[in-house]
Structure 1
Amino acid sequence: SVIPLAYYAIALRQTPGLSFSEFWWRTMTVGPWPSGPIWFVYVLMAFDLTASILYRVSPRLLDPINRLSIKGFQRPSKFWLFLVIVSAAAYLPMLIHYGQNYWFEFGPFSVQASRVLLYASYFFIGAGIGAANLEGGVLSAHGRLTERRWFWTGITLIPYCLMWVMIYIKRMIIGNPDPLPGWYLGIYGSFYVLFSASILFAILAYFLQSKSSGPTLLDRMQGDAYGMFLVHYPIVLWLQYWLFDMELPAFAKAAIAFFATVALSWAVTAVLRKIPGSRYVL
């Protein structure tokens, strides 16, 4: 796994001279056994398996979502409201009960407890949109969503600013308590739900509306994107490890780490994909 290699950089900062074999053995036997960003792949695989089983039960389970998507072709705000209501019902009770920091963990498998149903909601709503009639639904390149990019961008800014107000209240007024009171989590979580749905629509509207005369850099990167996601974490952590002691402004370090991570992870993925059979998984 690439994750122990990634976290070894952090362990060296805490315990200089620690060998990788010692770190790896402690991680496997004592823990913690962090999954890093790969937790997303585990969760997505679980959703995929669940969707496959449900499809066997009934191929038409997602039809109601698809019908709402078709209505969203002309009125995307209706589908946005549906997304907000469903994700609020899935997220807020879990957030208030578990708080924002608790994770379900089993060995290297982990997922944030308060968000697991939120992720599931977005996954199955997305599957419902793509189940049929994609070109006649809310994500059609010819629908109303593409015409209102700036509207959704403006809508996104409202809950975003309100979230910062809640952060100010947490830090400066109620003294940053741990755990946070339920009323605070409920209000902040409501703004988070509104922000998540709105920025999703804003981003999708932007990409649906953009028309390029030829392939862009992102288009060229598309085939290697999954591999880049899998290998980028040790690269970015080791870059941060080497940059830590350099006398450079924080902005410069961030820029170097970002662009070097993109370039190196892209190059590593390109090399790995030359291995026979690797293209099936990368």
Structure 2
Amino acid sequence: MKACVIMTIKHRDVWVDYLRAAITVLVVAHHASLSYTTFAAFNAEAYVRSTHPVVDERRWLGLDIFQNFNDIFFMSLMFMISGFFVPGSLQRKGARGFITDRIYRLFVPFVAGATVLAFVTYYPPFRLAHGTGSLTAFLQDFFTTEAWPAGPVWFIWILLAFNLAYVPLSRVCGNALSLLGKRANVLGNKPVQAAVWLIIITWTAFTPLAYSAGAGTWTGWQPFDFQLSRIVLYFTWFLLGSCLGMGDFNKGLFAVSSRLVRNWKVWALLALLTFGVIVLISNFELLGKLVVEGKMNAFTGWMIYFAVFSISCSLSSIAFMTAFRALASKRAAWWDNLVSHAYLIYLIHYSFVIWLQYLLVNANLPAFLKFLLVFSFSLSLSWFAASLLKKVPFIRKYM
């Protein structure tokens, strides 16, 4: 089995695959933590309006910091990583083959996630909200009051939309995207310039909608939800990834010998320091107090926050990418196995997370221990279930 996994992914970039798998694990941990944050709130009238489908009375401030760190950067990075592979796939398969492949790889899993998996996932919060186990009442509530929540598979349908949009965009703007990729790939030995450009692009893509719509605003119709405040940011990072994917970024921007990669420890330190500023701003409401006291107007406060957010998002992403490029030089069988199952783990983990959090609601355990139990068992069960699902030929081929 291990040999089979290595053969199927040996042509891929080791560090990119391992980074994507690591981010998937981070997603599982992120969702496992949301039941135990100090800001968690449950809305019994419509659990979809809760901060998380299952909210526990046990809380820990450390998990607030953990989830905030993840939330700032990891979805943007996932869209960028996804963009790496798009140009090559489109070139090899042609437009029709590319679109067909994306429908099988993305739309079919989204449908499964938004129906069967969603029904399984959202039954526990329905019981918590209404104290009844009636399946009829659950389904009625699911499609009306809750407006058909899909959960984390929102990422999959948005990724499909980005992939489909890229097909005509590559025909109209292909030369411009290629030129942008070439210019980015020569910045490996100009790390400060690379970081500054990424920060500027991030701030420009994020700020207008985040300010006008609200920094945490979601919208959508039925299962087709998305984060309105970040949709332009995500598409921009996806396009940046596709631009880099047009060239050999392993010999350009992310060359092992480049100053960008060699200074991965510096990027990690800068990322932590910048996020520390976010923590101070959030926990002590530094900007909010200045606004309330009349020492700063609200617009200026938001612009400062969005700037720090953009810096944190960019530096954390650079830190993760350069660290994996520098350190992930050799294959490991367990990493390869995780890579092979990462997509399915992302697709199914939420059901395990919600059910485990539900089963532990009344357990007299510290919040951090509950988090560890939910995270470890959700990851293990998702990984095991993914290995079983991989035995199905269609799933093995496309997921």
How does the TM-score come out when normalised to structure 1? 0.91
Match of 2:266 in 1: 151
1:65 equivalenced with 2:180 (yes/no): yes
- Aligned counterpart in structure 2 of residue 23 of structure 1, from 114, 117, 138: 138
Could you tell me how far apart the structure 1 residues matched to 2:382 and 2:281 are? 37
- Aligned counterpart in structure 1 of residue 246 of structure 2, from 128, 131, 147: 131
Superposed counterparts of 1:126-205, under 5 Å: 126-167=241-282, 168-169=284-285, 173=289, 181-205=298-322
- What amino acid is aligned across from residue 383 of structure 2 in structure 1? W
Could you tell me how far apart the structure 1 residues matched to 2:299 and 2:333 are? 46
Assess if the C-alpha contact under 8 Å between 1:129 and 1:137 holds in 2. Answer: no
1:152-190, Cα deviation, whole Å (9 max, x unpaired) = 1122123212212221226983799xxx94333222111
- Aligned counterpart in structure 2 of residue 6 of structure 1, from 102, 111, 121: 121
Could you tell me how far apart the structure 1 residues matched to 2:390 and 2:277 are? 45
Gaps of 5+ in 2: 1-114
Aligned CA-pair RMSD: 2.2
Could you tell me how far apart the structure 2 residues matched to 1:193 and 1:25 are? 41
Gaps of 5+ in 1: none
How far residue 124 of structure 1 moved from its aligned partner, in angstroms, is 0.5
Match of 1:278 in 2: 395
Question: Which SS does the other structure have where 1:62 is aligned?
Answer: helix
Question: Which SS does the other structure have where 1:55 is aligned?
Answer: helix
For CA contacts below 8 A with separation 6 or more, give which structure has more relative contact order: 2
Q: How many residues align?
A: 279
Question: Which SS does the other structure have where 2:253 is aligned?
Answer: coil
Distance 1:191 1:110, change over 3 A: same
1:235 equivalenced with 2:352 (yes/no): yes
Distance 1:163 1:213, change over 3 A: closer
Distance 1:263 1:104, change over 3 A: same
Match of 2:190 in 1: 75
Assess if the C-alpha contact under 8 Å between 2:256 and 2:262 holds in 1. Answer: no
Question: Which SS does the other structure have where 2:127 is aligned?
Answer: helix
Question: Which SS does the other structure have where 1:34 is aligned?
Answer: coil
1:122 equivalenced with 2:237 (yes/no): yes
Could you tell me how far apart the structure 2 residues matched to 1:281 and 1:29 are? 33
Question: Which SS does the other structure have where 1:248 is aligned?
Answer: coil
How far residue 108 of structure 1 moved from its aligned partner, in angstroms, is 0.7
Match of 2:337 in 1: 220
Question: Which SS does the other structure have where 2:175 is aligned?
Answer: coil
